[in-house]
Amino acid sequence: MKLEVARRWPPLPWTEWQDSCETLHMWTQIVGKVALALRPFLNEWWQVAFPLTARGMTTGLIPYRDRAFQVDFDFIDHNLFIRTDDGITKALSLVPRSVAGFYADFLDTLRAIGIEVAINPVPSEVPNPIPFDQDRVHASYDADAVNRWWRIQVQTEKVLQQYRSTFVGKSSPIHFFWGSFDLTHTRFSGRPAPVAEGAPRFFQLSEDQENIACGFWPGNPNYAGLTLGEPAFYSYIYPAPDGYAEVAVKPEAAYFDQTFGQLVLRYEDVRRAESPEDALLGFFQSSYEAAADLAGWERSALEMTVPTPA
């Protein structure tokens, strides 16, 4: 593999950073639940997701009484910053520490600058959740692995920016959901979706419209305890039309996973491709086209040709 490609798409074996990932997952949930508590609801839970930044990711602006603040993860120098609109900046180092310790330090820091917020201390979308204030099991932080994970997301977002440019229907920002711990982008047909009976409430609200989603997932278990055990890219349509499991997409390494009901492309297959960017864009685009055609989306009204710059 060429050196410049390896820098853009570094290795990320799940077994080598699982402990750090599970700890960071809980830290992002703590921060994310503050946004959940203070922001007004936005369809599909968009108000709680984190956009990426050139150094990590951010909550974006959070309203608080007559003030506003934001929380930024810096995965280069490995700090967490709380910044307010009246000029206050506080920092917490991202180093190995328990979830309980992070939870206490973060909320104490918010209180010290006059921000009082109560959050549900039970983690979301994970099997066997441990309340944040009791979690001394997860206490790892491998800075190098976390940086590699974030850099993969940056490269993925660059591909997703190109992928999303031709779609003119309703579509989500490219953002990171701290519940499922994945970077994702979603397109909508404009038609409602049937209520998923028996599904968790977060799923019923986020999947209330017919949609096709794709993104990057590092391999952590989902709320049902299912995992691929390795990082992968995914694409799915909800609700899935008949015949979806048999669609053929690019590249050849992509496949339909019966357990998850999604199209999957292993991260290792992308990073070892001659052009990872082209392979990934081909996966996202061909997966969308196959699903949209099968479901009868009105693609002529939802897509456009990108204009040539003047």
Over the stretch 213-255, which tens digit does the pLDDT of each residue have?
Answer: 999 999 999 989 999 999 999 999 999 999 999 999 999 999 9
SS3 179: coil
Listed residue (207, 187, 213, 194) closest to 298, CA to CA? 187
**Residue 1: band (very low, low, confident or very high) from pLDDT cuts 50, 70, 90:** low
pLDDT score of 203 more than 80: no
SS3 254: coil
**Residue 198: band (very low, low, confident or very high) from pLDDT cuts 50, 70, 90:** confident
SS3 74: strand
Percent of the chain whose predicted confidence (pLDDT) is above 90: 91
CA angle, residues 196, 200, 203, in degrees to nearest 5:
65
How far is the C-alpha of 67 from the C-alpha of 114, rounded, in Å? 10
Percent of the chain whose predicted confidence (pLDDT) is above 70: 99
Q: What is the pLDDT of residue 8?
A: 93
> What's the whole-model pTM score?
0.96
Q: What is the pLDDT of residue 201?
A: 73
Do 138 and 26 contact (CB within 8 A), yes or no? yes
**Residue 2: band (very low, low, confident or very high) from pLDDT cuts 50, 70, 90:** confident
What is each CA distance from 188 to 16, 45, 87, in whole angstroms?
A: 36, 15, 39
pLDDT score of 207 more than 90: no
